[in-house]
Amino acid sequence: MTELLAAIRSFIDERALPLERDFLTRPFAELEPRLNELRAEVKRLGLWAPHLPAELGGRGLTLTEFAHVSALLGETPIGHYLFNAQPPDIGNCELLHAHGTAEQQAKWLVPLARGDIRSCFAMTEPEFAGSNPVWMAATARREGGDYVIDGHKWFTSSADGAAFTIVMAVTAPDAKPHERASQIIVPMNAPGLELVRNIPVMGDVGSGHASHGELRFTGVRVPVTNRIGAEGEGFALAQERLGPGRVHHCMRWLGICERAFRLMCEHAVRRELSPGHPLGEQQAVQHWIAESRAEIDAARLLVLDTAQQIEARGAHAARDRISLIKFHVAGVLQRVLDRAVQVHGALGMTDYTPLAFWYRHERGARIYDGPDEVHKSAVARRILKGFGLKRS
Ligand SMILES: Cc1cc2nc3c(=O)[nH]c(=O)nc-3n(C[C@H](O)[C@H](O)[C@H](O)COP(=O)(O)OP(=O)(O)OC[C@H]3O[C@@H](n4cnc5c(N)ncnc54)[C@H](O)[C@@H]3O)c2cc1C
């Protein structure tokens, strides 16, 4: 593991960081050929998709081992992509590996694991509160051996250029809320499936992998064999995906925190307020640095402990810890990024460092995969139940 982390560290520092500035200032599509060259290099070095099992070309790391890798990759916005460990593909790979049929795995998982194609995951709808994941309008109606899908989705990350999406749609409207929907593979070129637009996010419309799409499904027909798992199992599969997925996100955020921290310290030493007097002499800056260090280190321990609990007891048993890290680390990320931007002054607002990119795109960390408030209430309700609270 130590050797693997050292090899990834060198690749990030020597090969990825020089390309980062272009990523921050140019459309993804323009940079894709150069990113693909680096992806090929990662493969040649035997570092590809370390979270995937060996039979899929990875290194079969455990969740805890991959958490360490994810923190390193998170130090640059292109890290996870270069190692084929980027969301949403990582979650789709895990889902297809655990629940896909042999045919689905051959057709979709194998090329996804090789990095030949990309994918996306379409669950959230603009007209319905995504915080209530069982409430949606998209339907998949059975007609003979097919599903006919109608629906409207948005914030489908990386839809632009994806080969397929996994869509969550209601297959049994009269079933219990948690058993109504199924997850179904839909090729992005299926007739009736339209990428309406890439949604502008804080002024950045994005493109390719680095985008969030709005999708419309109008009478989209796919074979019933495209369903993943049993009918009505969509919600349960989504929950299963989200447990380890939140550990991945949290460690990626801690990677961002480490880089922001380093940039903040370097700038505090380099930038002088008057000749011979660097910014780092200011007590306010010193406090931001100390507070950030404490928050990052504490958050890392909490996330690694959660990963170990998931491995030992399963995601359901570890659900309180998963909720705790989700909102806690998202908060640490916001605070560390904000302090780093502040220390950089106007430079922090530019795209000459990755801080502004993360500041724009990772504000969503407190919203996606369950907003802060949902996780806090879920944990607190279970705690208070132990103290006798009947309902809330
Ligand atoms: C960057 C980004 C990427 C995303 N990628 C994807 C993707 O790839 N696929 C996909 O399907 N979706 C994706 N999403 C959508 C995401 O899952 C939803 O935004 C999320 O589930 C919240 O749903 P909503 O936006 O409809 O907010 P709403 O449900 O409308 O909630 C709005 C706000 O209400 C508050 N709130 C909600 N519930 C409660 C509660 N119980 N108690 C107190 N306050 C509450 C919260 O502050 C919340 O932010 C992405 C979102 C972002 C920002």
363 near 202, Cβ under 8 Å? yes
Distance 171 CA to ligand 1 centre (A): 23
Q: What distance in angstroms lies between residue 129's CA and the mean position of ligand 1's atoms?
A: 7
Looking at the predicted structure, is the pLDDT value of residue 341 above 90? yes
| Domain positions in the chain | 2-100, 119-228, 235-386
Q: Is 131 in the pocket of ligand 1 (CB under 6 A)?
A: yes
The Cα-based distances of 151 to 66, 138, 148, 198, 282 in angstroms read 35, 4, 10, 17, 55
Ligand 1 atom with least separation from CA of 123: 11
Q: Ligand 1 centroid vs 131 CA: distance in angstroms?
A: 5
Q: Degrees (nearest 5) of the Cα angle 18, 23, 27? A: 150
- Which one of 120, 128, 131, 214 would you pick to mutate in the ligand 1 pocket, going by the greatest count of ligand atoms within 8 A of its CB? 131
Per-residue burial over 113-148, b = 16 or more CB atoms within 10 Å of its CB, e = otherwise: bebebbbbbbbbbeeeebeebbebebbbeeeeebbb
The verdict on the CB of residue 253 being under 6 Å from ligand 1 is no
The pLDDT value given to residue 243? 82
Residue 46 burial (CB < 10 Å; 0-12/13-18/19+)? Answer: exposed
Kindly indicate whether the domain formed by 2-100 is annotated with CATH number 3.55.50.30: no
Side chain identity at 287, as an amino acid letter?
H
DSSP 159-220: -TT-SEEEEEEES-TTS-GGGSEEEEEEETTSTTEEEEEEPPBTTB--BTTB-EEEEEEEEE
Predicted confidence band of residue 361 (pLDDT cuts 50, 70, 90): very high
Q: Which of 90, 121, 124, 135 to mutate to test the pocket of ligand 1 (most atoms within 8 A of CB)?
A: 124
Tens digits of residue pLDDT in 17-67: 999 999 999 988 899 999 999 999 999 999 999 999 999 999 999 999 999
Testing ligand 1's pocket by substitution, the residue of 89, 135, 155 carrying the most ligand atoms inside 8 A of its CB is 155
Percent of the chain at pLDDT > 70 equals: 100
Write down the residue that tokens 């640095």 correspond to.
289
The pLDDT, as a whole number, for residue 90 is: 94
DSSP state of 232: T
- pLDDT at residue 296, as a whole number: 98
- Note whether 54 and 100 are within 8 A (CB): no
Q: 258 alpha carbon to ligand 1 midpoint, in Å?
A: 26
Residues 144-188 pLDDT 10s = 999 999 999 999 999 999 999 999 999 999 999 999 999 999 999
Atom nearest to 129 CA in ligand 1: 29
* Per-residue confidence (pLDDT) for residue 242, from 0 to 100: 81
Q: How far apart are CA 142 and CA 122, in angstroms?
A: 19
User: Is the bond preceding 50 in cis, omega lying within 30 degrees of 0?
Assistant: no
From the CA of 364, give the closest atom in ligand 1.
Answer: 53
Residue 346 has pLDDT above 70, yes or no: yes
CB 292, CB 111: distance < 8 Å: no
pLDDT greater than 80 at residue 6:
yes
- What's the pLDDT score for residue 192? 98
> What mean pLDDT comes out for the span 262-283?
98
Where does 235-386 sit in CATH, by number? Answer: 1.20.140.10
Name the residue with the closest Cα to ligand 1, atom 7: 156
Q: For 158, which DSSP code?
A: T
Helix or strand (DSSP H, E) at 142: strand 139-143
pLDDT band for position 392 (cuts 50, 70, 90): low
Using a 6 Å cutoff on CB, does residue 155 contact ligand 1?
yes
Angle at 350 between CA 357 and CA 35, to 5 degrees: 50
328: DSSP letter: H
pLDDT per position as a tens digit, 184-232? 999 999 999 999 999 999 998 999 999 999 999 999 999 999 999 999 9
The atom of ligand 1 lying closest to the CA of 369 is 17
Q: Which residue's alpha carbon is at the smallest distance from atom 37 of ligand 1? A: 131
pTM equals 0.95
User: What is residue 211's predicted lDDT score, i.e. its pLDDT?
Assistant: 95
| CATH architecture for segment(s) 119-228 | Beta Barrel (2.40)
What atom in ligand 1 is closest to the CA of residue 157?
8
Separation in Å, CA 33 to CA 38, 164, 288: 9, 21, 39
Closest ligand 1 atom to Cα of 122: 11
Flag whether pLDDT at 115 surpasses 80: yes
Give the nearest ligand 1 atom to 88 CA: 8
User: Could you count the other beta carbons within 10 Å of the beta carbon of residue 96?
Assistant: 23
Write the pLDDT tens digit of every residue in 275-300: 999 999 999 999 999 999 999 999 99
Q: Which two tokens stand for residue 94?
A: 């895990």
Binding site membership of 134 for ligand 1 (Cβ less than 6 Å): no
80-113 confidence digits (pLDDT tens): 999 999 999 999 999 999 999 999 999 999 999 9
> 157: Cβ below 6 Å to ligand 1?
yes
Residue 122's closest CA among 92, 160, 155? 155
Distance 158 CA to ligand 1 centre (A): 17
Q: How many C-beta neighbours within 10 Å does residue 53 have? A: 14
Distance 121 CA to ligand 1 centre (A): 14
Nearest-CA residue for ligand 1 atom 33 is 371
Q: What is the pLDDT confidence band of residue 133, given thresholds at 50, 70 and 90?
A: confident
Mean pLDDT of 345-373: 96
Output the pLDDT for position 241. 80
Residue owning the nearest CA to atom 21 of ligand 1? 130
Distance 198 CA to ligand 1 centre (A): 17
**By percentage, how much of the chain surpasses pLDDT 90?**
94
